[in-house]
Amino acid sequence: MKKRTDSRNRPSYLRWCYECNVPLLRKKCDLCGGKGIAVAISSPGDARPALEEDRLLTVRTISEEYGPQIKRAIKGKTIILNKAPGIDRTDEVIIDGIKIGILEFDIFEKKFRFIPSIEGCAAFDRFTKRKIMVKGGLKGHLKGKHLSYDDIIIPKGQVFEAGDYAILLFPDGNIGKGILKDGFQHSEKAVKILDMTKEDVCFSKITNPMEKIIKANRGHLNIIEKEASDFIKETIEAAGKPVNVAFSGGKDSLVILELVKGVTPRSETIFIDTGLEFPETVAYVGMMQKKTKKKIRCVRSTKDLLTEAEVFGPPAKDYRWCCKTHKLAPVAEYIGLNYPDGCLTFEGKRRYESFSRALSRRVDNNPFVPGQTSAYPILEWRSLEVWLFIFSKGLRYNSLYDKGFERIGCWMCPAGLDSEFEKAKELHPEKHRKFYKFLLGWADSRDLGKKYVRLGFWRWKSYPKKMLEIARDKEINLVPHVKGSEYSVSSVSGVVPCHDRKFSIEAVLNGIKDFERLGNVLNVLGSVSYSKDMGALRFKSSGCDVSVFASGHIMIKSDSKADAKRALIETVRTIIRFETCNMCGICARKCERKAISVVDEKIHIGASCTHCGKCNRSCQTYTYSEKVVDMSRVKKV
């Protein structure tokens, strides 16, 4: 089976055949036989075609800024969008192989704006009156310099504001891109020249409908389809397990469904209804079941997001506890009951989707679902490859893509974009109202304020640099002030030597609610001796003596400084794991010795536990425990 180049090592560009005016997935155009020219795009280079709503949005946003003539010039053309770095949705816009600018969502104004590139300025010049004339007499290298208000002429009827991007027309015929500065009407630095070009940039007169683009890329589509199908066949033979397809209702899993169908008729299709799916997605899955005349097994979560969020807080990009409670738990239960000897699941994961997925192996064992081997046939595919495959096969896709969603998941997913959250508000106002009301209440109880919610800070536990800059600029508090039930490590002693030649470290964990229960569950770390009268429990873990008291005081003694510190971190994280446990049951299914059971609706650790720690590693509550309690004081010791 032919190996494909690792996507992480690929340069970020899109090839374009200007002779046929089509984007290419490889160097050669299958229509004319010519070679495509590379168009540089932002990493990771996961370009996609603009579908119905995105086409309308792009054309509308550009024409509102630069006039109706541009609308007529680009109407009917295939538009390619490519994700670029930004605070929220930020897409490079490519038309006729010209990267004309950036379409971005403004989280403050809650609307889209278009920022032209220098190529876009040159292409727009002949269609728009919205430009600024630059007077003569300027000398030297102008890029990066400022123009005074006396150096420019704003045409009658054109109104500019500070922060607007402007097309600059120079006397020698050069085209420039500029930005108007604050107080530009009375300033020596009215306009900053960002870029300049002498190039004559024109939109193509050659049409490029989707059927033509598919024909131009037919050879490449055949190659990647065969490679993926061969991978599926070989993986099935190697695994020797029952086969199923994880169908999310999104474009990538649709491709997997079609590919697996072409290889084997003996596979089950599983859809996980998290209870947070868009109604459109649930309806689409139902439609697919009727269309394919094949049963799609719907596995439903019984958890309620807002009830869970009262304990965990809102889910975040780096704190996605909801995936465990609403997705992993029900699928682990279903597979445990229906595939006792394990299964092989084909999924639509792609490297280009995120940095974490870029590191994925093509075949892997799911650490959260015992017995499930996951395989990713289209791991190396780009979004444009996915869409051209779908169009070439005439596959029916989820209608949400035509409504402006780039990815399909839970309607309030924190990994989504604020622009998509606004779109969800438009489509399902009642769902949005309930969740937004919770967010406001949660933020208010922590003195975080309405701006914290409105600008989307709830989506992170650890904030990216750009969000920190916004918080400083807008004076938004990011430090929660909670009364009562929050967990915290209030004091930590240094690792100090003891008289018995051991080392000790001590800390206080505030917020423990059920100390008596810890007498059982901490057996996952070591055999616990529990004294109810003394309010203390003790155990030995990895050579360390651990004592935990009802006051929250934790004391560790060890032969090694490093081991003492490690044991303290492990103990705190394990306590948080069981304190915030929501009974998903993944740990019970993961335990090979059947030492974990449910007693009185609580996890119980039995005598057969060997303290191997596998249940901790399989638990997302444990994984995210450091999002619940700040461990920085411990780690600094």
pLDDT at 601: 83
Judged against a pLDDT cut of 90, whether residue 394 lies above it is answered with yes
Distance CA 32, CA 55 (A): 27
Q: Tell me the pLDDT tens digit for each residue of 307-340.
A: 888 877 899 888 888 887 899 889 989 999 999 9
Structure tokens at 229: 């199908």
Asked if residue 1 lies in contact with residue 231, where contact means CB atoms within 8 angstroms, the answer is yes
Could you tell me the residue ranges of all domains in the chain?
A: 12-126, 135-201, 217-403, 428-474, 488-636
Q: Tell me the pLDDT tens digit for each residue of 140-195.
A: 889 999 999 999 999 998 999 999 999 999 999 999 999 999 999 988 999 999 99
pLDDT at 511: 85
Judged against a pLDDT cut of 60, whether residue 294 lies above it is answered with yes
What is the pLDDT confidence band of residue 493, given thresholds at 50, 70 and 90?
A: low
Q: Tell me the pLDDT tens digit for each residue of 418-464.
A: 999 999 999 999 999 999 999 999 999 888 999 999 999 999 988 89
Distance CA 485, CA 507 (A): 18
**Ranges 59-63, 476-480, 633-637: which has the least confidence:** 633-637
> What are the residues whose beta carbons fall under 8 Å from the beta carbon of 126, sequence distance 6 or more?
none
What is the pLDDT confidence band of residue 580, given thresholds at 50, 70 and 90?
A: confident
Q: What is the mean pLDDT of residues 569-584?
A: 90
Structure tokens at 308: 């869970």
Residue 431 CA to its chain's centroid (Å)? 21
Q: Tell me the pLDDT tens digit for each residue of 12-32.
A: 899 999 999 999 999 999 999
Judged against a pLDDT cut of 90, whether residue 283 lies above it is answered with yes
Q: Classify domain 12-126 at the CATH superfamily level.
A: Pre-PUA domain; domain 1 (3.10.450.120)
Residue in 276, 250, 274 with CA at minimum distance from that of residue 428: 276
Distance CA 181, CA 398 (A): 44
- In a 3-state reduction of DSSP, which class is residue 419? helix
Distance CA 400, CA 316 (A): 23
Fold of 217-403: Rossmann fold (3.40.50)
Judged against a pLDDT cut of 50, whether residue 55 lies above it is answered with yes
Between the CA atoms of 418, 419, 420 and 425, what dihedral angle is there, to the nearest 10 degrees?
90
Tell which wins on pLDDT, 329 or 288: 288
From the number of C-beta atoms within 10 Å of its C-beta (0-12, 13-18, 19+), residue 461 rates as: middle
Provide the mean pLDDT of the chain.
Answer: 91
pLDDT at 540: 93
Question: H/E/C letters for each residue in 527-591?
Answer: CCEEECCCCEEEEEECCEEEEEECCCEEEEEECCHHHHHHHHHHHHHHHHHHHCCCCCCHHHHHC
Asked if residue 309 lies in contact with residue 442, where contact means CB atoms within 8 angstroms, the answer is yes
- The CB-side HSE value for 156 (13 A sphere, CA atoms) comes to 0
Judged against a pLDDT cut of 50, whether residue 234 lies above it is answered with yes
pLDDT at 447: 87
pLDDT at 484: 53
Task: Give the whole-number percent of the chain exceeding pLDDT 70.
Answer: 95
Asked if residue 80 lies in contact with residue 117, where contact means CB atoms within 8 angstroms, the answer is no
Whether the link from the prior residue into 429 is cis, omega within 30° of 0, is no
Structure tokens at 127: 């269609």
Distance CA 288, CA 257 (A): 11
Task: Give the whole-number percent of the chain exceeding pLDDT 90.
Answer: 70
Q: Tell me the pLDDT tens digit for each residue of 520-541.
A: 999 999 999 988 766 789 999 9
pLDDT at 533: 64
pLDDT at 268: 96
Residue in 297, 301, 293 with CA at minimum distance from that of residue 244: 297
**Ranges 86-90, 394-398, 627-631: which has the least confidence:** 627-631
pLDDT at 514: 87
pLDDT at 6: 44
Give alpha helix (H) positions in 367-413. Answer: 383-393
Judged against a pLDDT cut of 60, whether residue 9 lies above it is answered with no
Judged against a pLDDT cut of 60, whether residue 553 lies above it is answered with yes
What is the pLDDT confidence band of residue 618, given thresholds at 50, 70 and 90?
A: confident
Burial 87-100 (b: 16+ CB within 10 A, else e): bbbbbbbbbbbbbb
What is the pLDDT confidence band of residue 495, given thresholds at 50, 70 and 90?
A: low
pLDDT at 550: 82
Judged against a pLDDT cut of 80, whether residue 480 lies above it is answered with no
- In a 3-state reduction of DSSP, which class is residue 202? coil
Burial 558-573 (b: 16+ CB within 10 A, else e): beebebbbbbbbbbbb
Per this entry, what is the length of the chain? 637
Q: What is the mean pLDDT of residues 501-507?
A: 77
